[in-house]
Amino acid sequence: MKKRTIALILSVALCLSVALTGCGAGDSQQSNPADDGKKSLTIAVLNDVVSLDPAVKDSSAEMQMASHLYDPLVDYDTDLGKKPGLAESWTVLDDGVTWEFKLRQGVKFSNGNDFNADDVVFSFERILNDPTLEMGVYLMRLQEIKKVDDYTVQLVTKIPYPVFAGSLIHIMMLDKETCEGLTSEEIAANPVGTGRYRLVEHVKESYIKLVRNDEYWGELPEAETVEFRVIANAATRTTALINGEVDFISNIPVMDVERLKNDPNVQVVTNPSLSCSYMGFDLLNEHGSAGTDDPNPLLNVKVRQAIYHAIDIQTIVDTVMNGYATVANSYMPSICVGYNADVERPAYDPELAKQLLTEAGYPNGFYLRIDARSDSDMNADQVSQAIASYLEKVGIKTEVNLLPRASFYEKVSAENLQSSFFMAGWGDSSGEGMVIFNDMLYTYDGKPGMGEGNKGHYSNAEVDALLDQASVEPDQAKRAALVEQVDQIARDEAAYIPLFFKDNIFGVRAGIHYTPSADDHILAWDFTF
């Protein structure tokens, strides 16, 4: 009868598990997006936003959410072009530094207040006066802002800067009457914006629910309710999409794509992203190739060129990235002003690499350490190991050092560079090669605004001069020519090694049509049913 007891327990357990799977399968319909006639959208995101105050953080998740609730003066057109937002038009006055914006009339905030110049001045001054608001980074060249009349404002820049309007795309307009005197947390707790959607509910680390603003001044999006659900783990997101619990997922790991493509309920949409993955060199230190006291071999241009030629980036893209990336020949994505599709990227040629190394005085190679992030979304851990393999084949003894985010940025920082050779990423949505190169190639000397991303301390006076010229060049074609020159100089000197632009990989429920946005943000109005 012990056997009977055991048999009894086992059979009960079996029944239980069958019942569970049974009711589990049935219940998955309950967690589907609501079918109550409303067009609703459930989007899975990696992490929650830190704050709903649009000025606090300069990062994708926050800017993406801010675009739903608020509007800027200038907005994106297709392919990172610019079009009117809350500003109907703008011109540069003759002095070259004053920008006059004519504001749209008849726009209301979600609480009924009118939108006018007071709100614009408030929104900008707030950022100018508080250095902890990260969006200040985009207003570095702003000198002051003046109200001309209720629907006209003037922004004065410190020096002439023809692409200034583009910097304003991420500056959202707040309602002065509501927000004046409030702390950032208070503003975030009760967002009042002019945007396409209004906040319904925000449960931290869980979800954000939005409802459409039917009085929106522009074109109404199709989705009437939107939920951004936080699902941090990629596998969970994928499962949620397959089960129909969410309508959309992003950041799909490259090795998962084939599996998703085979699912009839799912469409996979890809587009090239703006995130450039690259290798940076320590061009600052005379000595110390990561841990040794030898002279820094990377200061020799032939050594850098040798490394460039030693890496077979196409194979890396095909295998490690499973084909979901595009080989890069520059920091600039292809839609940038200044991009030239015809340039020749130094080819994969290990023999040439060995020759260059010998010519540089390193016939037996040298020791090099690659610092890369262990937790990057660009497969940095795999890519850097692959690169190590190629470098070893031409005689460079390579060690791969994987670090989590915090430790990585400690070592790879322009202020205090402790890395010889690192793999990093950079993304920029300005659409201007000049802006990118100002960040990445301009000499870094601690001043805000220039060379912020130039962690390796590349410095070339000619490049600086050309970029200075481009910054004040209003004619797009002339600007492009200057930028192309800079690009070529950097390539000839092997200032850095551009690797690839990874693809954005999205999964969309069948029956919904999604058009990816050029700035890599996921926006509810890019969906049609």
Partner 1 sequence: MFKYFLKRLAQMVVTLFIVSILVFVLANFIGDPVNMLVSPKAPPEVREQVREELGLNRPILEQYVSFVSNAFKGDFGKSYIYKVDVLSLIAQRVPATLELVFVSVVLALVISIPLGVYAGAFPKRKSSTLVMGGSILGISLPSFFIGIMLIYIFSLKLHWFPSSGRGATTSFLGMNFSLFAPGGLKYIILPALTLSVTNIASLVRLTRAGVMENMRQDYIKFARAKGVSTRKVLFGHALKNALIPVITVFGMEIGSLIAFTTVTETIYSWPGLGKLLIDSINSVDRPIIVAYLILTTVLFVFINFVVDLLYTVIDPRIEFR
Partner 2 sequence: MGEMKKMGAAPNKSLFRRLAESEFFHNYKRSPSAIIGTVIVVLVLFIALFGPLFAPQNPYDVASLSLTDSYKPPAWEAGGDARFIFGTDSQGRDIFSSLIYGSRISLFIGVVGTLLACAVGITLGLISGYFGGRVDAIIMRLADILLSFPDILVALFIMTMFGRGVSKLLVVFTIIGCVTYIRTVRAEVLTVKQMEYVDAARVIGIPNILIIAKHVLPNVMTTVIVLSTMKVGGLILAEATLSFLGVGVPVTEPSLGMLVKNGFDVLFSGYWWIAVMPGLYIMLIVFGINLLGDFLRDEFNPKLK
The contact set with partner 2 (CB under 8 A) reads 235, 238, 253, 255-256, 258-259, 312, 315-316, 319-320, 374, 381-382, 385-386, 388-389, 392-393, 398-400, 402
Rounded CA separation 455/417 (Å): 7
Nearest to 340 by CA among 442, 438, 480, 476: 480
Phi, psi of 503 (to 5 degrees): -80, 145
Burial 428-463 (b: 16+ CB within 10 A, else e): bbbbbbbbbbbbbbbbbeeeeebbbbbbbbbbbeeb
Pairing of strands 325-327, 496-509: antiparallel
Block residue for tokens 């940025």: 409
CB of 45 to partner 2, least distance (A): 19
CB of 163 to partner 1, least distance (A): 17
* Nearer of residues 175 and 428 to partner 1, judged by Cβ: 428
Phi, psi of 56 (to 5 degrees): -75, -50
CB of 387 to partner 2, least distance (A): 10
Of 159, 232, 347, 510, the residue at the interface with partner 1 (CB under 8 A) is 232
Residue 386 contact partner, candidates partner 2, partner 1, none, CB within 5 to 8 A by sort of partner: partner 2
Q: Contact at 8 Å (CB) between 428 and 377?
A: no
- Residue 514, beta-bridge partner list: 527
Rounded CA separation 291/342 (Å): 40
Chain centre to alpha carbon of residue 379: 15
* Nearer of residues 273 and 296 to partner 1, judged by Cβ: 273
Rounded CA separation 332/196 (Å): 31
**DSSP structure string for 53-91:** -TTS--SHHHHHHHHHH--BSEEE-GGG-EEESSEEEEE
Residue 254 tokens, joined: 């490259």
Of 32, 51, 385, 443, the residue at the interface with partner 1 (CB under 8 A) is 51
* Nearer of residues 145 and 383 to partner 2, judged by Cβ: 383
* Nearer of residues 198 and 309 to partner 2, judged by Cβ: 309
Nearest to 453 by CA among 272, 280, 274: 280
The verdict on 399 binding partner 1 (CB under 8 A) reads no
CB of 402 to partner 2, least distance (A): 5
Spell out, one character per residue from 470 to 499, where the chain touches partner 1: x when CB under 8 A holds, - when not: ------------------------------
The verdict on 243 binding partner 1 (CB under 8 A) reads yes
Rounded CA separation 264/526 (Å): 22
Print the SS3 string covering 17-36: HHHHHHHHHHHCCCCCCCCC
For the segment 445-464, give every residue that binds partner 1 (CB under 8 A): 446, 448, 452-453
CB of 185 to partner 1, least distance (A): 9
Q: Contact at 8 Å (CB) between 231 and 251?
A: no
Spell out, one character per residue from 247 to 286, where the chain touches partner 1: x when CB under 8 A holds, - when not: ----------------------------------------
- Piece of the chain touching partner 1 by CB under 8 A; list 50-58, 67-75, 121-129, 476-484: 50-58
Burial 46-62 (b: 16+ CB within 10 A, else e): bebbebbbbbbbeebbb
Residue 398 contact partner, candidates partner 2, partner 1, none, CB within 5 to 8 A by sort of partner: partner 2
Q: At what angle do helices 301-310 and 380-393 cross, to 10 degrees?
A: 110
3-state secondary structure of 512: coil
Q: Contact at 8 Å (CB) between 238 and 251?
A: no
CB of 239 to partner 1, least distance (A): 5
The verdict on 405 binding partner 1 (CB under 8 A) reads yes
Residue 448 contact partner, candidates partner 2, partner 1, none, CB within 5 to 8 A by sort of partner: partner 1
Of 351, 375, 399, 445, the residue at the interface with partner 1 (CB under 8 A) is 375
The verdict on 413 binding partner 1 (CB under 8 A) reads yes
Block residue for tokens 């999006």: 221
DSSP H helices, 96-233, are 117-129, 164-167, 176-179, 184-189
The verdict on 30 binding partner 1 (CB under 8 A) reads yes
* Nearer of residues 123 and 379 to partner 2, judged by Cβ: 379
Residue 57 contact partner, candidates partner 1, partner 2, none, CB within 5 to 8 A by sort of partner: partner 1
Block residue for tokens 């659409």: 431
Q: Contact at 8 Å (CB) between 508 and 248?
A: yes
* Nearer of residues 56 and 260 to partner 2, judged by Cβ: 260
Q: At what angle do helices 433-440 and 461-471 cross, to 10 degrees?
A: 140
Spell out, one character per residue from 113 to 142, where the chain touches partner 1: x when CB under 8 A holds, - when not: ------------------xx-x--x-----
* Nearer of residues 243 and 485 to partner 2, judged by Cβ: 243
Of 35, 205, 214, 219, the residue at the interface with partner 1 (CB under 8 A) is 205
Residue 9 contact partner, candidates partner 2, partner 1, none, CB within 5 to 8 A by sort of partner: partner 1
Residue 315 contact partner, candidates partner 2, partner 1, none, CB within 5 to 8 A by sort of partner: partner 2
For the segment 507-526, give every residue that binds partner 1 (CB under 8 A): none
Rounded CA separation 480/139 (Å): 23
Residue 143 contact partner, candidates partner 1, partner 2, none, CB within 5 to 8 A by sort of partner: none
- Piece of the chain touching partner 1 by CB under 8 A; list 27-35, 97-105, 477-485, 497-505: 27-35
Residues that bind partner 1 (CB under 8 A): 1-3, 5-6, 9, 13, 17, 20-21, 23-24, 27-28, 30-31, 48, 50-51, 57-59, 131-132, 134, 137, 204-205, 231-233, 235-236, 239-240, 243, 375, 404-407, 409-410, 413, 415, 439, 446, 448, 452-453
